[in-house]
Amino acid sequence: MKAAFPQHTVFTGKEDDSRILELDVKGGFLSPAKKLKISYRERATPSFNLDTVDCPVSRQMTGMFNYVASLPASNERVQSMLLQKIKTINAEFSFNVEPKLTGDFSKLLLRLTDDYDAFLFATVPKGRTQEQKFPDKDLNFIMDTEGKCGDVNLKVSIDTQYFDKNIAVTPEIQTRKDNTEALLRSKGIKINAHLPYTESEAETQLRTREEVIDRLYALTVITAKAEAVEPERLEGFVVEHRVTGLSPEEQRIYDERKPAEQDMINSMWRYESLNVMVWALGLIPELKYPSEVIDVPAVLDIVIGQSRDALESKAVLRSKTEILNELDKIYRMNWACVDARLHNQAPSGELNPSVVYERHYSLNWLTCYADAEWDEVTTDT
């Protein structure tokens, strides 16, 4: 505020549980007086979710989450992104202007939303009435209180200080990291030596064998949908193989007669995730180096070339050691891919970023990363 209004005095204070900034701009012959008041407060327990509701801000965010979740959204993807964003909120400020938002006040608001990676809940004029809506930090329309959604990709970030666990460095996890970095060096892959350790076996909970089998068949169905397999044939497979584990997002795509092109592309990449499930169940010997896409017919032959009962009789979930070794490798490979993208470079080591991403996603799900269900898995690096 002082930088935006260097000629004016900024008043500070407290009001209930909030800190207050106020500014009065005197009017001129042709301009009215203006007033700005910003109140700011933070969560008592910073977090990336709403599991702990212990203060006014977390209660406010919980109420907002439940309210947004209840709206009849015109675009469930956008609604889901907004809900995820709400869960990560650790600070809240109100921005009140009299008589209206103009000029330098607008610039200050945009500076704040950008610095805080914020979204807004704003009341805006609409003819003779007013409406409430959620804009993003660039004032792009996200959603209104009627459920209408804009076409946006809302960024959801989690500060690592709230998210990362303090992991004790044991010989197990140190050896795993050392082995991974030795492999990366042998492949010419860029290494970030400061990346956190992955969890130990004692701290890791794996999905059950039954959950992995269900996920394997769900991925088979969603990739078949992307291949435009005839509905009757696909429905027959679902019944014959007792497929009941589709995620909400997968169910939405499966139910649509003609899914959107991007949904089809995303679903096609799930062949890579399917391959991870086949490996995790011990049905193939190894996960090959992620420079090329998998041999789809070979993987599908394992899944659809036998009954579910036959597959289940052969499926043995791999050990935590095997799965965590693969996770540590792909986690550090994914960092290299992200770093290359940020610098407009090709990934080192001839890595295929899409293959790496799908494998990281799948291994995070297998190890219950952040306790996220399939649609909410993240691939943090």
Dmax (CA) of the chain: 86
pLDDT score, position 342 = 83
CA distance 50 to 65: 9
pLDDT score, position 343 = 86
pLDDT in tens, the chain (381 residues): 888 888 888 899 998 889 999 988 887 766 778 899 999 999 988 888 787 778 889 888 888 888 888 888 898 888 888 988 898 888 999 988 888 877 888 888 888 888 888 999 988 777 677 788 999 988 889 999 999 999 888 877 766 666 555 557 899 999 999 999 999 999 999 998 888 889 999 999 999 999 999 999 999 999 999 999 999 999 999 999 999 999 999 999 999 999 999 999 999 999 999 999 999 999 999 999 999 999 999 999 999 999 999 999 999 999 999 999 999 999 999 999 999 998 899 999 999 999 999 999 999 999 999 889 999 998 987
pLDDT score, position 202 = 93
378: CB partners within 8 A, 6+ apart = 158, 364, 369, 370, 372
| Cis peptide bond upstream of 99, omega within 30 | yes
pLDDT score, position 4 = 85
pLDDT score, position 105 = 85
CA distance 29 to 129: 30
CB 118 within 8 A of CB 112: yes
To the nearest 10°, report the CA torsion of 107, 111, 117, 119.
-30
pLDDT score, position 165 = 53
Residue with tokens 């008589």: 99
pLDDT score, position 164 = 54
Opening angle at CA 111, ends 335 and 339, nearest 5: 10
Task: Please name which of 275, 276, 283, 279 lies closest in space to residue 313, comparing C-alpha atoms.
Answer: 283
Task: Please name which of 103, 113, 165, 115 lies closest in space to residue 135, comparing C-alpha atoms.
Answer: 113
pLDDT score, position 246 = 95
Task: Please name which of 273, 275, 262, 367 lies closest in space to residue 325, comparing C-alpha atoms.
Answer: 367
Q: Against a cut of 0.75, is the pTM above it?
A: no
CA distance 198 to 179: 13
